[in-house]
Amino acid sequence: MPGEWRALPSSFRDPSGFLFEREGELYRQVNRYYQDDYDLLLSSGLYKALTEQGLLVRHDEADISPPDPQLAYKIIKPQVVPFISYPYEWCFTQLKEAALATLKIQKTAFDFGMSLKDASAFNIQFVDGRPLLVDTLSFEKLRLRPWVAYRQFCQHFLNPLLLIAYKDFHLNQLSRIFIDGIPMSLTSRLLPFRTRLRPGLASHVHLHALSQKYFSTRKVKVRERQVRPVSLAGLVESLESLTRRLSLRLKKTEWAHYYEETNYTPEGFEWKKKLVEEFLDIIKPDTVWDLGANTGIFSRLASRRGVQTVAFDVDFLAVEMNYRDCLDNGDKNLLPLVMDLTNPTPAIGWENRERKSLLERGPADAAFALALLHHLAISNNLPLAKIAEFMSRVCRWLIIEFVPKTDSQVQRLLATREDIFERYTRPDFEEQFSRSFLIVRIAPVEGTERILYLMKNRSSPQG
């Protein structure tokens, strides 16, 4: 008798199979429909080649009863991804690395007589700091036909990359609205005029959009055409060289230079690090969310201990710098992501369940809220009670810094607004947070007026 199982709401479109959970473990059913391609993936050596290069998720075949025996061919158990992230949470380099990984996978697949039938950015996840294809069922036998996932690649990867590189990095958020990728027509209209003069861009984006528009209003008989292998390879190579040449010119932002503009003395800063380390020794977490992580200096205190750490920040460029540091230093346990805590990622897609909200992906064992409280309470008018409530939903342990109103950074925030924050005081802070948390440690940060708290959630939050 099959045990209790639950199909994942993100996995229902593909007739090749689906993901399901049973007794807390994640499995994938491979359907008979996909039998030939699955066997070819393994027998051709493509699976071995891709997993050895760290490009495809590893799996084991599981000897358990399938949830849908009529359709089932095999059940596989994929390697677990520590934290699921989405393209609209990635910085430029993460998106670019994910795009290049997809093209590299496609090129490798060609060598083994296979091809990607999906090029969805949602199929890529960051594991050990690198992009990994997590959908084992994305391959099909290579046929000399146009690449079926070409449009998807353009919409999911090329378009957001171009819009970030040529217009504004905030446009990455368009991926959140357009779940199947940013439309060609929109990208073509938003990109500056000069992009029409570049051959690669003119053809893959502008002519592509034009061609879609032209043929959408005409009944065309598209004949099955053979495409020569050299043409298929050329297409992928052309997308690759276009992607590889894209770069993000960094500009100065208030946040990206936050640490240089901090009011900490070097000693105060080191003292704060020491306190965080001490608190981590007490908690011994498996997962940490650093909320308002900036470039991830404090996140690294956790990730260097082997703790799976996610470093969230609202500033795209701070996340960009953080990820580049991860690449440079080979930091495997740190995942920097763009996140506006005042408007965190919602659940989107079919039935609002296809892609998870931030809260659904928690709780973390521990959260850091360092130099964050005043931004939420003063810049965003969030009452302390509301902040405490949010924190209690995302973590079991909390390391939070109270920044008093007399602090020069708070004074900076108050310089341009009326001080209506009478209840932003230490006693109020302790009172509000004590409703959900037990205060375990209170430690002043030497050389500053700031205080670091270690708190334990009174109830274990539900994910």
Partner 1 sequence: MRPIIRYVALLSLVLFLLPLCGYGYIDLGSGSYIIQLLIAGFVGFSLTLRIFWKKIKARFSKKAKPDETIDAG
Residues binding partner 1 (CB under 8 A): 146-147, 150-151, 154, 183-186, 188-189, 196-197, 199, 202-204, 206-217, 220, 222, 225, 227-228, 230-235, 237-238
Ordered strands of the 17-22 beta sheet:
6-7, 17-22, 25-31, 72-78, 59-61
Q: Which residues pair with 229 in a beta bridge?
A: none
The residues, any chain, with a CB within 8 Å of residue 114's CB and separated by 6 or more, are 37, 40, 41, 44, 46, 139, 140, 141, 142
Closer residue to partner 1 (CB): 9 or 146: 146
Closer residue to partner 1 (CB): 21 or 240: 240
Closer residue to partner 1 (CB): 204 or 324: 204
Collapsing DSSP to helix, strand or coil, 402 comes out as strand
Closer residue to partner 1 (CB): 142 or 154: 154
Closer residue to partner 1 (CB): 227 or 282: 227
Kindly report the backbone phi and psi dihedral angles of residue 53, in degrees, each rounded to the nearest multiple of 5, phi listed first: -85, 0
- Strands (E) across 292-373 are located at 308-313, 334-338, 364-369
Kindly report the backbone phi and psi dihedral angles of residue 30, in degrees, each rounded to the nearest multiple of 5, phi listed first: -100, 125
Q: Which residues pair with 290 in a beta bridge?
A: 311, 368
Nearest to 158, CA basis, from 117, 188, 196: 188
Q: Counting beta carbons within 10 angstroms of the beta carbon of residue 140, is it exposed (0 to 12), middle (13 to 18) or buried (19 or more)?
A: buried
- Least distance (Å) from partner 1 to the CB of residue 145? 9
- Least distance (Å) from partner 1 to the CB of residue 86? 23
Closer residue to partner 1 (CB): 151 or 332: 151
Q: DSSP H helical segments within 181-336, as ranges?
A: 184-190, 199-201, 208-216, 229-245, 266-283, 299-303, 316-329
- Least distance (Å) from partner 1 to the CB of residue 234? 3
**Is-contact 134 125, C-beta < 8 A?**
yes
- Least distance (Å) from partner 1 to the CB of residue 192? 13
- Least distance (Å) from partner 1 to the CB of residue 207? 6
Nearest to 246, CA basis, from 87, 85, 97: 97
Closer residue to partner 1 (CB): 209 or 394: 209
Closer residue to partner 1 (CB): 47 or 153: 153
The alpha-carbon radius of gyration of the chain (Å, integer) is 24
Closer residue to partner 1 (CB): 228 or 252: 228
Q: Which residues pair with 457 in a beta bridge?
A: 437
Beta 364-369 vs 287-291: how paired, if at all? parallel
- Least distance (Å) from partner 1 to the CB of residue 97? 24
- Least distance (Å) from partner 1 to the CB of residue 324? 29
Closer residue to partner 1 (CB): 71 or 207: 207
Nearest to 374, CA basis, from 431, 414, 337: 414
Closer residue to partner 1 (CB): 189 or 426: 189
- Least distance (Å) from partner 1 to the CB of residue 218? 8
- Least distance (Å) from partner 1 to the CB of residue 110? 13
Closer residue to partner 1 (CB): 189 or 284: 189
- Least distance (Å) from partner 1 to the CB of residue 184? 7
**Is-contact 362 395, C-beta < 8 A?**
yes
Residue 81's alpha-carbon distances to 25, 202, 308, 395, in angstroms, are 12, 37, 11, 19
- Least distance (Å) from partner 1 to the CB of residue 153? 10
Which helix (DSSP H) or strand (DSSP E) does residue 50 occupy?
A: helix 46-52
- Can you read off the two tokens belonging to residue 327? 């690449």
Nearest to 185, CA basis, from 158, 219, 167, 208: 208
- Least distance (Å) from partner 1 to the CB of residue 228? 6
Position 300, amino acid: R
> How far is it, in rounded angstroms, from Cα 61 to Cα 197?
50
